[in-house]
Amino acid sequence: MAIDNDPIFTLDILGGDDLATDNCVLRQNKTKMICRGSRDYCHSIRDEMVVNRGYTLPPYYQDEWTYSKGNNWTPKELTNLETWFSPEYFHPETTRTDLCVQMENQSTATNAGANGIQNTTTNMATFDTDSTEHRGLTTLTFNGSSTRYLVDDLTDWNVGTDDWFCCVAVSGPTSDTDDKQTIVRKGTKWSLCADWTSGAKNLVFDWNDGTTSGSITLGGGGQTIEGSTSIYVCGRNRGYPFLNCYANSAFADEVTDTSTFAGDLDASSKPKIGYNITLGTSQHFYGRLVEVIFVNDNGRTTDEAAGGFHDRVVGYLAHKYKTASLILDETHPYYTEPPRLDNIST
């Protein structure tokens, strides 16, 4: 790739996590410094150079662009991506800019769902930015007592009898609160919780599809690395429930229950994030919410829904937040490299 005899093979942004100063550097071909400035400034110059040469705009968090490898893959490539909440699209309340009033859904799929909302300031999560964690992005802190959000449509996450998965990236629970904390939930049909009762630090996926009910527990799955992004995935695969935990490389575990989980999961209830009132107790989440991704695999083949999609989303999150070496096992297909548009695992 060259313009005016100026070949470009790589463009790297060094110091990309430094949000407080203007010490980022844009480097060409590993040797030539193009500019120095803020992270946003270096990204803007990089993006202009890439787009002017006819290439697709890379995701903003991609600090290493390589001519031979191209752009990183993102969940927007999933045809049946129903929900995608991430820090770039968390919106502040008008009069209290330290609070989040809306999590905007980034999905552009035909089945894209509603936004996540909270209209009461006392129940809103607070914005939390730490330049040393989560790539410096602003995450949401849930207080464990009142913070909660609804995905604002009763029909969202209604998958019927199809396979599906829900992937959440969190930091926390941040302390031993000695209780069960709901991370995400769809009515009385299923929930993903961190159960710290008696200091157990378990991750729990409960379900009741009207035909069968059950629960999967990953003992110690709620244990996280301080300041690191943990990834939890639950769902239905080939008619069976499964639960994955990527909290640290020593505990990258999966459980697939052999119980049939093929009933109808449709419910006239808005999906809940960070709490549960269905069972008569609040069970509020205490920690930081990073991303929520829900994929309705209706119309996809079983192998695609169960394998490639799941791995890609986990790889995307692990590399976006620079925790791949901490939370992924070396056998994971995206342990070394993030999923890219030309290397995705199927």
Query: pLDDT for 25-70, tens place per residue?
Result: 999 999 999 999 988 899 899 989 988 888 888 887 788 888 877 7
Record the tokens describing residue 73, joined without a space: 């893959």
256 and 301 both lie in a single domain: yes
Q: What is the pLDDT of residue 303?
A: 45
- 232 φ/ψ angles, rounded to the nearest 5 degrees: -120, 135
* pLDDT of residue 306 exceeding 50: no
153 and 286 both lie in a single domain: yes
Residue 266 resides in a domain: yes
Q: How many domains does the chain have?
A: 2
Record the tokens describing residue 245, joined without a space: 């935990």
pLDDT tens string 210-226? 888 889 888 765 565 55
Q: What is the pLDDT of residue 2?
A: 44
Is the omega angle on the peptide bond into residue 75 within 30 degrees of 0, that is, cis? no
Contact of 202 with 221, CB cutoff 8 Å: yes
Cα–Cα–Cα angle for 111, 112, 114, nearest 5°?
A: 130
Instruction: Provide the CATH number for the domain around residue 276.
Output: 2.60.120.200
162 and 46 both lie in a single domain: no
The most confident of the ranges 75-79, 176-180, 227-231, 254-258 is 75-79
pLDDT band at 5 (very low <50, low <70, confident <90, very high): low
Residue 336 resides in a domain: no
Residue 320: its H or E element: helix 309-320
List alpha helices for 63-173, DSSP H.
none
234 and 91 both lie in a single domain: yes
244 and 193 both lie in a single domain: yes
DSSP state of 124: P
Is the omega angle on the peptide bond into residue 338 within 30 degrees of 0, that is, cis? no
36 and 180 both lie in a single domain: no
117 and 21 both lie in a single domain: no
Residue 114 resides in a domain: yes
List, in sequence order, every residue forming a beta bridge with 208; answer none if it has no partner: 213
Residue 343 resides in a domain: no
* Alpha-carbon radius of gyration of the chain: 20
pTM of the model as a whole = 0.87
Q: Which residue has the higher pLDDT, 180 or 26?
A: 26
Report how far Cα 171 is from the mean position of its chain's Cα atoms.
11
Mean pLDDT of 145-172: 92
7 and 132 both lie in a single domain: no
Q: DSSP readout, 283-297? A: ---EEEEEEEEEEE-
Write out the residue range of the structural domain in which residue 153 sits.
Answer: 75-327
16 and 115 both lie in a single domain: no
140 and 248 both lie in a single domain: yes
Residue 332 resides in a domain: no
155 and 134 both lie in a single domain: yes
* pLDDT of residue 107 exceeding 90: yes
Q: Which of 66, 86, 111 is the last residue of a domain?
A: 66
